[in-house]
């Protein structure tokens, strides 16, 4: 019971930090003001932002799996030796596209520009690159190189 509560508390704290970082990115890009008229539906920029946010999330998951010391992977999708590089490449692509989405946006949330997805991709991409780099450095340090 205590472990479950600790996990739920950690996930809630991580979600709060993530939301704060996304808001900070939107404020830094001067895109935090919501639109006067909200655009509903999927626009091309929202699709772009959503796809790179999903790519960044995949990079975070692969990076987190690469950090585990379990010699047998539960998910046989990415070989263990390629996990850190996959996380770093996916994270860098997502962060770059998230930055470009924010740079090209002409309004805040609700304008159809995908600024929330772009900010999420930027934050998650940076996390994926960090996890991949940490896993790569641990792997190299364990090798003695």
Query: What CA–CA distance (Å, rounded) separates 4 from 74?
Result: 21
Q: Which residue has the higher pLDDT, 117 or 1?
A: 117
- Encode 29-98 in three state secondary structure: CCCCCCCCCCCCCCCHHHHHHHHHHHHHHHHHHHHHHHHCCCCCCCCCCCCCCCHHHHHHHHHHHHHHHH
Cβ contact 108:34 at 8 Å: yes
pTM of the model: 0.81
> Which is it for the CA torsion 22, 27, 29, 34, positive or negative?
positive
pLDDT tens, position by position, 66-116: 887 655 556 565 556 788 999 999 999 999 999 999 998 888 888 888 899
Query: What CA–CA distance (Å, rounded) separates 60 from 63?
Result: 5
Query: What CA–CA distance (Å, rounded) separates 72 from 145?
Result: 23
Short-list 62, 36, 67, 53, CA closest to 121: 53
pLDDT tens, position by position, 38-54: 888 888 899 999 999 99
């Amino acid at each position: 019971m205590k472990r479950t509560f600790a996990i739920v508390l950690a996930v809630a704290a991580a979600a709060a930090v993530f939301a704060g970082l996304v808001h900070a990115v939107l404020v830094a890009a001067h895109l935090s003001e919501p639109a006067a008229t909200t655009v509903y539906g999927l626009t091309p920029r929202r699709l772009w932002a959503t796809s790179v946010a999903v790519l960044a999330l995949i990079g975070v998951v692969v990076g987190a799996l690469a950090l585990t010391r379990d010699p047998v992977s539960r998910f046989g999708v990415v070989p263990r030796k390629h996990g850190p590089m996959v996380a770093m490449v996916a994270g860098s692509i997502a962060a770059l596209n998230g930055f470009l989405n924010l740079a090209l946006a002409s309004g805040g949330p609700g304008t159809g520009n995908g600024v929330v997805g772009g900010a999420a991709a930027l934050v998650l991409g940076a996390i994926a690159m960090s996890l991949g780099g940490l896993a790569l450095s641990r792997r190299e340090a364990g090798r003695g190189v």
